[in-house]
Structure 1
Amino acid sequence: MTPNAASSGPSRRSFLASTAVATAAVAGGMPLLTACGGSDSGPREGTTSGKAADKLLPTYVAGTVAKPDLPSKNGSSAGYTGKVDLAALATSVPDKLGTGAPFKVMSPFWGTPPKPGCAYYTAVDAAAGTKVTWQNQDGNTYGEKLGAVLASSSIPDMVVVPSWELVGKIANAVTAKFMDLGPYLAGDKVKKYPNLAAIPSDAWRMGIFGGALRGIPMPSAPASFIVPYYRKDIFDKKGWSVPKSPDEFLGWAKDATSAKAKVYACGDMTWSSAGIFGVRPSGTLGWNIDDDGKLTYRIERPEYLEALEWTRRLFDAGVVHPDDKARSGDAGQRFTSGQILVFNSDMSAWYGRTAEQAQSNPGFQIEGMDYFGADGGNPTLYASQPATIWSLIRKGASKETVENALAAANFSAAPYGSKERMLVDYGVEGTHYTVKDGVPVKNDQGNSEVINAWSMLAAPAPYFAHPDIPDVARKQVEWQQRMGAFLKKTSTYGMNIVEPTRYANLASQFEQLEIDYVRGNKKLSDVQAAISTWRSSGGDKLRDWYKELLDKNGSGN
């Protein structure tokens, strides 16, 4: 059965390049919402925490369908490394909770959406007792469409909102446009929907917007880091050791690069450099109370510039592929063809690239390079938020619409080892997949219809499972567990924070500035000047806002 491939990274555009959607979470908890004081504050700003948040949460009831071979550890996903008996799949939704009443869902989609009424949509609707009209939108430009829809008077019954789109007016619109699900899910009410009850409480906390439980979460493992992948088959053939410090990496990269042979050591390593130098994530997680008691944002810390400077050294040394410098083409394809030997991607690439090369390039081996610190010692890696995507139901929806939407989410959150998970992930046997040696294998129709739609509504606690290549699931979990040993949480971990809209675009310039600087198109002084401008243009006032929020709600770490 296809896993939920956990994924996170410093840019929202790095997410969901594959058909498997990222999920995961750990139990725990975090405080949140009180509007932060002063005339600047509004009722939709801030966060909800502590006992106030606890009262809003669904009761947690752990699922019992399948015990993982590799339990979650150090914030990792769980792992299943054996084959599931497809003839003995458990039933996680014994009764159809949907009544068949129609409702509309708007969701981001990567790829070509299936046609309405296709065999996959028809089969899942029949099993869940639902009748969904999908309004799938291009995931790469989803924010533009989402902003326009939320500003209109015509909002679909259910809308999927990724965390990276929670900026500006969209963040405030979530509170204004979507309903409080507490009357349906808070406390023991959630037990009507057992798969939703099995979603960890930390993930549900992230669904609190404007003092109410509005978002049905897609959990995310805290140890969901960007992975610096390397071609183990080529490393072994050349006798190279895996670098264990920034200087070792640069030295190896110079030796490995041959422009004449059109082989370069790596792609753009900006994302991995953040892990090497201990740079905090962007967005709200970038705020942290330092050891000296000062509250700072990620760009103010020395490691931010150190990471950029190291990445620039790689470009200056000529070890980065020219197409990566030009930001053209597909770095993943350059990696599988051997044009680059190291590249960054999310966890899904481990399985995706392995499966892709299994027939045409059987010697292909991809591994995740363990992070090292700036001094060659242990790294500092920051936890991802326990939920990163939500589905929400519009205010004013009828009781029947709400119950059918929740029935759909409950079906989508079915656990590994269940009939419902099998249907969501693979479709119908004989139509969308066949079974070979006890392993389901999608056919062309399955690959064109059974992609990221239903899986966006909700998800179980995170796991990896690749019955066709079980060793990959083991490696994914073990890598997360190793790296999770160095995991730290910032002061804003676990908090779904809505910043004041006047600060919405304050840090927007830095992504492009980083791209330009590491490629030699901007000077270090340009980055330093941008940091100064950030402070004077509102960064210092935003710091005061965060300080008041943390004083009232407590730290997330």
Structure 2
Amino acid sequence: MTPNAASSPAPSRRSFLASSAVAAAAVAGGMPLLAACGGSDTGSREGTTSGKDAKKLLPAYVASNVVAPDIPARNGSALGFTAKLDLATLKTSVPKKLGKGGKVTVMSPFWGSPPKQGNAYYRAMNDLIGVDVVWQNQDGNTYDQKLGAVLASSDVPDVVVVPGWNMGGKIPSAIIGKFADLGPYLSGDAVKEYPNLAAIPTDAWQRSLFGGKLRGLPMPTPSAPSMVPLYRQDIFAKEGYELPKSCDEFMALAKEITNARAKRWACLDMKWTAFQAFGVLSGSEKPLGWNLVDGKLVNRIETEEFLEALEWSRKLFAAGVVHPDSKLGKNAPDPGPKFAAGEFLIYPNNISQWWGRTAEQATQNPEFKIWGMDVWGHDGGNPTLWAEQPAGIFAFVSKKASESVIRDVLAVANVTAAPYGTKEYMMTNYGVEGTHYTVKDGVPTKTDQGNIEVMNAYVMVASPAATIAHPDFPDVAKGQVEWQQRMGAFTRKSSFWGMQITEPARYTNLSNDVEQLEDDIVRGRKKISDMQQFVSDWKSKGGDKLRDWYKKVLDDNGSAAS
């Protein structure tokens, strides 16, 4: 049996696949709007929706007062819960079944071996909701291929879950063409029929606008950064290492730590931390890579900060302080075992790994302590960080679905979006007490059956406001939320933050090769001048025209960032 904790800090594909230990609900990141330049019934195939047009479509926000968090959200952080769990005091957020007993098919990505249909978890959830949910789980690693085939066919399930990282190519247009407008059921005060959906933050709903209509049910995520420089706090304390406050200090520390003959290196590839330290615009999603500077839109790859971050990352490799595994790039093995063995002491990754690595090592390595470094400004000052999208995974309802099916789907979502500390949240995330989990000293622990059956299913339909709760390691939950809050204080929103934008298809492949080139430069296989040439080619092949297109989107719609 393994201890389990509930956490929805933010999946992106990188975080979702980063650690199998984080089997709770760590889902992706996203933010508000996709939509329309036109006003036809199907909406425009490209562009966005914001400003007054968006306000008319968004659900009213009614904060939940069912459970008060131990650490309220601040600076774009998740809500934090640090208290032990007391099943006797769990609240009820759905006093009566809203489902009418209909059948709803859901296609969703799944990582691992899907449980059998009709298992105890599925039966209990369906009974709680009053809907017969039938799962069509698909391999999350190849989901984009399955998604494309299904959306190109006439046989679309009642509900289809689409992660933001799968929204490339023709998928956004298919979303607009194949899925229902949920506005009549959720816009304005209509959402109050579903109180847990009404408590989802407005930014997450704004990101659920596709083709000028409210089509998505979102999984909210924090806008505070999710990429953390994780380090071995226990070894730092033992060796007396000081936390760095600049890139020069990091380099000096890395050289002090590294002893290749003793099989110890300072770090893995630090590129993602370098981007943070130098204030580089986000590379997680194309629209976030643009920002208005002195009246002109600038892309992240055109900035001096981008080149400086790559050069500093390259110097770490050249100095020999980076673990040899990092030279393998994307095919490098799982860093967990060698991090636990102390072969390297620092690596950047999704915040979900903070708890995941802690849980992995809790029994066999009691001295092990992982923690998160505060991001530093490259010159020793405060960093400039960029906000992440407020929702990143969405569930859509087929345009062919009847009103009764749509209302049954919303009944499902109203249960799965129940806040932490409620009976509905426990059922969604842990299953049935005694069957799927037990509680000892306020800590829920999944049984073997729970680990098999209670995995990424119902949480994919909709989720509450981003939450971090680890009753097994409350100090980690506190550390994660407080890190988000400290870093959130240095976080800015770029021009297209919160906007669900569909680029014209002719520009789709413009920057496809940039990440591979970044990695080649960092590893010494290419030069900074190669990136400068790439940027020059990018501009002439369509980058400048894409800039003009984005500028028109901004001029027509305004910014969603406030």
For residue 369 of structure 2, the aligned residue among 365, 369, 373 is 365
Once the two structures are TM-superposed, the CA of residue 73 in structure 1 deviates from its matched residue by: 1.0
What is the letter of the counterpart of residue 365 of structure 2?
A: N
Once the two structures are TM-superposed, the CA of residue 514 in structure 1 deviates from its matched residue by: 1.3
1:228 aligns to what SS in structure 2?
Answer: strand
What is the letter of the counterpart of residue 549 of structure 1?
A: V
1:168 aligns to what SS in structure 2?
Answer: coil
Separation of aligned partners in 2, 1:413 and 1:202? 16
Moved more, 209-218 or 57-66: 57-66
Moved more, 486-495 or 107-116: 107-116
Sort the Cα spacing of 1:154 and 1:178 in 2 relative to 1 into closer, same or farther, 3 A: same
Determine if the alignment matches structure 1 residue 6 to structure 2 residue 15: no
Determine if the alignment matches structure 1 residue 286 to structure 2 residue 286: no
Q: 2:385 matched to which residue of 1?
A: 381
Moved more, 323-332 or 89-98: 323-332
Q: 1:514 matched to which residue of 2?
A: 518
For residue 359 of structure 2, the aligned residue among 345, 352, 355 is 355
TM-score (norm 2): 0.94
Q: 2:415 matched to which residue of 1?
A: 411
Q: Is residue 32–residue 208 contact of structure 2 (8 Å, CA) maintained in 1?
A: no
Determine if the alignment matches structure 1 residue 397 to structure 2 residue 401: yes
Determine if the alignment matches structure 1 residue 525 to structure 2 residue 529: yes
Once the two structures are TM-superposed, the CA of residue 373 in structure 1 deviates from its matched residue by: 0.9
Moved more, 130-139 or 427-436: 130-139
Q: 1:545 matched to which residue of 2?
A: 549
Sort the Cα spacing of 1:503 and 1:36 in 2 relative to 1 into closer, same or farther, 3 A: farther
Q: Is residue 409–residue 458 contact of structure 1 (8 Å, CA) maintained in 2?
A: yes
Separation of aligned partners in 2, 1:302 and 1:8? 29
- Aligned residue pair count: 548
Separation of aligned partners in 2, 1:359 and 1:422? 25
Instruction: Give per-residue Cα distances to partners, 1:329-364, cap 9 Å, x unaligned.
Output: 111332122111001111111111112111111111
Sort the Cα spacing of 1:143 and 1:221 in 2 relative to 1 into closer, same or farther, 3 A: same
Once the two structures are TM-superposed, the CA of residue 556 in structure 1 deviates from its matched residue by: 3.3
Matches within 5 A, 1:152-301: 152-282=153-283, 283-290=286-293, 292-301=294-303
Separation of aligned partners in 2, 1:491 and 1:514? 24
Q: Which stretches in structure 2 are left out of the alignment for 5+ residues?
A: none
Q: 2:141 matched to which residue of 1?
A: 140
Once the two structures are TM-superposed, the CA of residue 7 in structure 1 deviates from its matched residue by: 3.1
What is the letter of the counterpart of residue 343 of structure 1?
A: Y
Separation of aligned partners in 2, 1:119 and 1:30? 36
Instruction: Give per-residue Cα distances to partners, 1:478-520, cap 9 Å, x unaligned.
Output: 1111111101000111111111111111111111111222111
Once the two structures are TM-superposed, the CA of residue 31 in structure 1 deviates from its matched residue by: 7.9
Sort the Cα spacing of 1:514 and 1:15 in 2 relative to 1 into closer, same or farther, 3 A: farther
2:197 aligns to what SS in structure 1?
Answer: helix
Q: Is residue 25–residue 462 contact of structure 1 (8 Å, CA) maintained in 2?
A: no
Q: Is residue 130–residue 408 contact of structure 1 (8 Å, CA) maintained in 2?
A: yes
Determine if the alignment matches structure 1 residue 109 to structure 2 residue 71: no
Once the two structures are TM-superposed, the CA of residue 36 in structure 1 deviates from its matched residue by: 8.0
What is the letter of the counterpart of residue 319 of structure 1?
A: V
Q: Is residue 31–residue 51 contact of structure 1 (8 Å, CA) maintained in 2?
A: no
Separation of aligned partners in 2, 1:284 and 1:296? 11
Sort the Cα spacing of 1:3 and 1:118 in 2 relative to 1 into closer, same or farther, 3 A: same
1:410 aligns to what SS in structure 2?
Answer: helix
For residue 327 of structure 2, the aligned residue among 321, 325, 336 is 325
Once the two structures are TM-superposed, the CA of residue 103 in structure 1 deviates from its matched residue by: 1.7
Instruction: Give per-residue Cα distances to partners, 1:372-415, cap 9 Å, x unaligned.
Output: 11211110100011111110001111222211111111111011
Once the two structures are TM-superposed, the CA of residue 464 in structure 1 deviates from its matched residue by: 1.1
Separation of aligned partners in 1, 2:11 and 2:171? 21
Q: 1:83 matched to which residue of 2?
A: 84
Matches within 5 A, 1:59-98: 59-98=60-99
Q: 1:437 matched to which residue of 2?
A: 441
1:47 aligns to what SS in structure 2?
Answer: coil
Sort the Cα spacing of 1:535 and 1:505 in 2 relative to 1 into closer, same or farther, 3 A: same
For residue 308 of structure 1, the aligned residue among 273, 296, 310 is 310
Q: 1:504 matched to which residue of 2?
A: 508
What is the letter of the counterpart of residue 251 of structure 2?
A: L
Q: Is residue 81–residue 474 contact of structure 1 (8 Å, CA) maintained in 2?
A: yes
1:48 aligns to what SS in structure 2?
Answer: coil
Sort the Cα spacing of 1:522 and 1:24 in 2 relative to 1 into closer, same or farther, 3 A: closer
Q: Is residue 104–residue 132 contact of structure 1 (8 Å, CA) maintained in 2?
A: yes
What is the letter of the counterpart of residue 477 of structure 1?
A: V
Q: Which stretches in structure 1 are left out of the alignment for 5+ residues?
A: none
Sort the Cα spacing of 1:8 and 1:379 in 2 relative to 1 into closer, same or farther, 3 A: farther
Q: 1:461 matched to which residue of 2?
A: 465
Q: Is residue 48–residue 212 contact of structure 2 (8 Å, CA) maintained in 1?
A: yes
Sort the Cα spacing of 1:69 and 1:369 in 2 relative to 1 into closer, same or farther, 3 A: same
What is the letter of the counterpart of residue 543 of structure 1?
A: R
Q: Is residue 6–residue 23 contact of structure 1 (8 Å, CA) maintained in 2?
A: yes
Matches within 5 A, 1:4-43: 4-7=7-10, 12-17=13-18, 18-22=22-26, 33-35=35-37, 43=44
Separation of aligned partners in 1, 2:245 and 2:390? 29
Instruction: Give per-residue Cα distances to partners, 1:3-27, cap 9 Å, x unaligned.
Output: 3331367xx434353323346999x
Q: Is residue 32–residue 53 contact of structure 1 (8 Å, CA) maintained in 2?
A: no
Determine if the alignment matches structure 1 residue 424 to structure 2 residue 428: yes
Q: Is residue 65–residue 416 contact of structure 1 (8 Å, CA) maintained in 2?
A: no
Moved more, 85-94 or 208-217: 85-94
Q: Is residue 34–residue 552 contact of structure 1 (8 Å, CA) maintained in 2?
A: no
2:388 aligns to what SS in structure 1?
Answer: coil
1:460 aligns to what SS in structure 2?
Answer: coil
Separation of aligned partners in 2, 1:231 and 1:217? 35
Separation of aligned partners in 2, 1:516 and 1:495? 31
Instruction: Give per-residue Cα distances to partners, 1:120-172, cap 9 Å, x unaligned.
Output: 11111111112122122222222222122111221111011111222221111
Determine if the alignment matches structure 1 residue 483 to structure 2 residue 498: no
Q: Is residue 110–residue 138 contact of structure 1 (8 Å, CA) maintained in 2?
A: yes
1:473 aligns to what SS in structure 2?
Answer: helix
Separation of aligned partners in 2, 1:430 and 1:183? 41
Sort the Cα spacing of 1:52 and 1:225 in 2 relative to 1 into closer, same or farther, 3 A: same
2:241 aligns to what SS in structure 1?
Answer: coil
Q: Is residue 5–residue 472 contact of structure 2 (8 Å, CA) maintained in 1?
A: no
2:409 aligns to what SS in structure 1?
Answer: helix
1:441 aligns to what SS in structure 2?
Answer: strand
1:464 aligns to what SS in structure 2?
Answer: strand
Determine if the alignment matches structure 1 residue 536 to structure 2 residue 537: no
Q: 2:120 matched to which residue of 1?
A: 119
Once the two structures are TM-superposed, the CA of residue 199 in structure 1 deviates from its matched residue by: 0.4
Moved more, 518-527 or 420-429: 518-527
Separation of aligned partners in 1, 2:522 and 2:131? 50
* TM-align CA RMSD: 1.9
Separation of aligned partners in 2, 1:337 and 1:262? 10
